[in-house]
Chain A
Amino acid sequence: MELLEIKNLVVQYSVGRDVVQAVNGISLTVKEGATIGLVGETGAGKTTTALSVMGLVPNPPGKVKSGEILLDGEDLLKKSNKEMRKIRGKDIAMIFQDPMTSLNPVMTVGEQIMEVIQLHEKISRQDAQKKACEMLELVGIPGQRYGEYPHQFSGGMKQRVIIAIALACNPRLLIADEPTTALDVTIQAQVLDMMRRLKETYKTAMILITHDLGVVAEVCDQVAIMYAGEIVEKGTLEDIYESPRHPYTIGLFQSIPDLDVESERLNIIPGMMPDPAALPEGCNFCERCQHATEQCKKQPPVVRLSDTHEVQCFLAQDEKGGE
């Protein structure tokens, strides 16, 4: 069953006279209960994609130009503000990157969890309070700490509170935007582990946004690689990890330092991501790609390698054609 379908989404930011192509016609499908990892460098358009699904692209300067975002077949982009409010927090919830700043400093954490429950469920104050306590316990925080303020919690605990807020109404889709980037490495593992456990218990589908391929391997069953506002390759975890085809994906894997192989220097991808306000014609990656040829100056085709594996590159087409 398809829960969420993103079709040809285009999002632009206009800063002064510049138009920044943040998301450039991406398509993505999330099945119920599945976890998809959205991987890419900073500025690749991952967060903008997530915010579009939430209907929270800051406007101005951002604007969804075209495309469809279907939840259960209904286009979210066509819904009114009021309808979207009923979906946000209930059907789709989001975990933000920085737990330090994502909680309101002048409200107790309990109230902040209770707020989302009261918004979406018709229950009494007492019951909402009780449920908020339960949510705290669920993410491993003693329910007594209901009345404490965010500044009394550590970063990892705050992220747990944010996860409790996101899961409080049992959403069907959870979008986690780099949920562990701001945390210490040891805490990262704990939080990730907890997220995976809760996701399995509640059968929540998840879009996990990250730049960390290790995290993806642990949590996700599908992967989409984003580069400069486009999805350059997507497939199952095996497809991407066993047989990556796009030169950018291959580069990403090679840039992970390998402890077994002694090497003089890290294998980094040369160059930088193109200025999103002035994207090159054709393949966005071609300036950094060692396999680039003349034809890469044209828009590369999306090549279906299997039922699950797609890649947007001439190289794959040539190879497939040659078979």
Chain B
Amino acid sequence: MLHGGNPVQHKLYMEIEEGKQVLRYIAKRILMMLPILFGITVIVFTLMYITPGDPAYAILGENATPEQVMEIHKEYGLDDPYLIRLGRYFAGVLQGDFGTSYKTGRPVFTEIMDRYPNTLKLALLSTLLGVVIGVAAGIIAAVKQYSIFDRVGTIISLFGVSAPSFWVAMVLVLLFSVKLKILPATGTYGPQYWILPVFTLGLQASTSIMRMTRSSMLEVIRQDYIRTSRAKGQSEWKTIMHHAFKNAQVPIVTIIGIRICGFLAGAVLVETVFAIPGLGKYIIDSVNFKDYPVVQGGVLWIGLNCIVINLLVDIVYCFIDPRIKSMYSNKKKAAAVGTGGASNG
């Protein structure tokens, strides 16, 4: 072997190699997400571009004079051709400038950042709650398949993926705020105000995470290496956690990523019911005000978030399953060998 026979040296060498592999993999994923980001920008811009109605009236109000309208058109460059406006928008976005809100006149990015923390907090806390409940329930349901827990859990989780979040939110408000009067219904004035929103989304997340955990675990538990672990004399609990669960994680991480993305956007419903000043609610309100730079910027920002989340999910895959990691490095090696052979021939 080229790198010497010393196991310690070899291990170090392997670790460095692996580190390089992961970095290459991440770089590749980032390159792959750029065109998607570009595409999202184009689509969002175009959708707002084709929107009927003159934005000048959104800025000035319904009874603006034609002169005022002309002025606004000049100021915002509204009469320029599509491609020039698209280019201008791109140039702005690259510098962190998402345009100016028609309604408040403040930069869209500043407006977004005012609301984003609320949405992020809600999404992350709910997902955390969902993971804790969903993974635990999913593992138990899979290990005790066909038990009462499994049957009841399956029905509850099916119920959870069938109920609209805004309705669940209202049921919780009815129970805990109106009837029991133990939790506040609307606003964000303290930690207790977050309990109901987080539970609404968290319970919902837990149901889909539980379903995924259960089916993934059931798949894995049937594998031969689980039998190998038992044949070693390993305890049932460790067989489930060390061998089965670790192999079942990839689909679970996938659904967690999907869930966070969904909450960043879909929290609008829960934000509406609980009157949380979040990004989703802001986007919807801006649609009603025809404040399109805000809609554009908000959608783009959440799209960017989702892409980053997907990237993180892909990186986590690497750490869960070594096969995924080497799949990426080997492909590259194989390609290099291929071209080398061709040039020699």
Contacts and interface: CB of A to CB of B under 8 A. Distances in A.
A133 interface: yes
Given A104-B243, A149-B322, A86 B233 contact: yes
Contacts of A151: 322-323, 326
B225 interface: yes
B225 A119 contact: no
A144 B1 contact: yes
B224 A94 contact: no
Interface in A52-104: 54, 56, 81, 84-90, 93-94, 96, 98, 101-104
Interface string B206-233: 0000000000000000011101111111
B178 to A, nearest CB: 48
Contacts, number: 88
Contacts of B322: 105-106, 149, 151
Contact of A90 (B11, B227, B233, B247): B233
A144 B6 CA distance: 8
Contacts of B24: none
Contact of B247 (A89, A104, A116, A146): A104
A216 to B, nearest CB: 23
A105 B224 CA distance: 11
Interface string B294-327: 0000000000000000000000000011110010
A142 B4 CA distance: 12
Nearest to A117: B232
B7 interface: yes
A165 interface: yes
Contacts of A86: 233
Contacts of A147: 11, 14
Interface string A207-249: 0000000000000000000000000000000000000000000
A105 B225 contact: yes
Nearest to A119: B233
B106 to A, nearest CB: 50
A165 B224 CA distance: 15
Given A102-B227, A103-B228, A106-B321, 13 more contacts: A56-B227, A89-B233, A94-B231, A102-B224, A105-B247, A105-B321, A107-B242, A120-B233, A144-B10, A144-B11, A149-B323, A149-B326, A162-B228
30 contacts: A56-B227, A56-B230, A84-B233, A86-B233, A87-B233, A88-B231, A88-B232, A89-B232, A90-B233, A96-B227, A96-B231, A102-B227, A102-B228, A104-B228, A104-B243, A104-B246, A105-B323, A106-B321, A107-B242, A107-B243, A115-B232, A115-B234, A116-B233, A116-B234, A119-B234, A144-B7, A147-B14, A149-B326, A151-B323, A165-B232
Question: 4 smallest A-B Cβ distances: which pairs?
Answer: A89-B233, A88-B233, A101-B224, A89-B232
